[in-house]
Amino acid sequence: MEVLLANPRGFCAGVDRAIEIVERALELFGAPVYVRNEVVHNRFVVDRLIAMGAVFVKDLDEVPDHSTVIFSAHGVSRAVREQGQDRGLKVLDATCPLVTKIHREVARYCRKGKDVVLIGHAGHPEVEGTLGQWSRDSATGNEIYLVQSMSEVAHLQINQPDNLAYVTQTTLSVDETRDMIDALKERFPAISGPRREDICYATQNRQDAVKSMARDVDLILVVGSANSSNSNQLRETAEKEGVRSFLIDGADDIDPEWLQEVDHVGVTAGASAPEILVAGVIKHLQELGVLSVREMGGEAESMEFALPRELRIRTSA
């Protein structure tokens, strides 16, 4: 058996930054540091930060007065941000800059009184945060609409079809989202949208890597947690390319049965899954009979995001 390692895989710039914000906050301010929601959707990462002194909460009401709280990479609504300010909490924002860009787009459309269609998954924290940027323009009575499927696009009823814009979640299937945008454009020809899709570079590159790997493998293992949207998309991308695929948190989840009659195993990792878990998977596969590991060529990534100003100043002081 041979393993093919997808490239790129694993951590993106937004996840790197979010984790570093928690680590630096713990260093500078000491434990506990509170984090609203999982800072990134990965069990291993969250458990490690808990061991270092981070406390994960669902709601700002759970954060004691005068504490430091970090908003996760997925972003928060305006209401949550205002609640943090009203409470006088020390807030550090780990929202990925590519999510913030979408928040700004929604706010700009609202200022123009436009209706907005958001393509995304209901209940995902990024979607909640993006929906929470919407505000009503008193002149137009504008609305925001969440759509999750082609069928929802087909049945969508819009108040202002000629004054309409769309945005998307960052971690969706590139192909499905393109189809949904095309369908929106067909139904609402006046709809406007971002110059480049809102799906982020990391999601796009990891899906492209899976597509190219799918030609050469019989099975694809995606390292990532079940609540990670981009990891789930990688598994679905593999299946759409006709390759059996499983989402695993780590080596312990591998069922040796999956490897029967398999010559080539593809391994990739979602944008929130650390390389240490990939290394554990490779090691376990070697114990199960893999003789060689080959890394695929792929899109080189050089994206980096700066830390919040406050952490930069304190770190350089």
Binding residues for ligand SF4 (CB under 6 A): 12-15, 73, 96, 98-99, 170-171, 200, 202-203, 230, 271
* Least distance (Å) between residue 225 CB and ligand SF4: 13
Half-sphere exposure of 77 (CA within 13 A, CB side): 14
SS3 259: helix
The smaller minimum CB distance to ligand SF4, of residues 68 and 203, is found at 203
The single residue listed with the structure tokens 């695993």 is: 248
Residue number, nearest CB to ligand SF4? 14
Tokens of residue 30, six digits: 């000491």
Q: Which of 23, 27, 38, 126 is catalytic?
A: 126
CA dist., res. 223 & res. 203, Å (int): 14
* Least distance (Å) between residue 294 CB and ligand SF4: 26
CA dist., res. 114 & res. 192, Å (int): 10
* Least distance (Å) between residue 155 CB and ligand SF4: 28
Q: For residue 172, is it left (φ>0), alpha (ψ between -120 and 50) or beta?
A: beta
CA dist., res. 284 & res. 206, Å (int): 23
* Least distance (Å) between residue 130 CB and ligand SF4: 11
Half-sphere exposure of 163 (CA within 13 A, CB side): 15
The smaller minimum CB distance to ligand SF4, of residues 54 and 259, is found at 54
Catalytic (active site) residue 176: no
* Least distance (Å) between residue 17 CB and ligand SF4: 8
The smaller minimum CB distance to ligand SF4, of residues 10 and 193, is found at 10
The smaller minimum CB distance to ligand SF4, of residues 171 and 212, is found at 171
The smaller minimum CB distance to ligand SF4, of residues 166 and 188, is found at 166
The smaller minimum CB distance to ligand SF4, of residues 12 and 219, is found at 12
Please spell the DSSP secondary structure of 3-17, one letter per residue.
Answer: EEE-SS-S--HHHHH
Phi and psi of 66, rounded to 5°?
65, 15
Please spell the DSSP secondary structure of 168-232, one letter per residue.
Answer: E-TTS-HHHHHHHHHHHHHH-TT-B--SS-SS-HHHHHHHHHHHHHHTT-SEEEEES-TT-HHHH
CA dist., res. 222 & res. 207, Å (int): 11
* Least distance (Å) between residue 97 CB and ligand SF4: 7
Which residues touch 103 (CB under 8 Å, ≥6 apart)? Answer: 75, 95, 129, 130, 133
- Catalytic center residues: 126
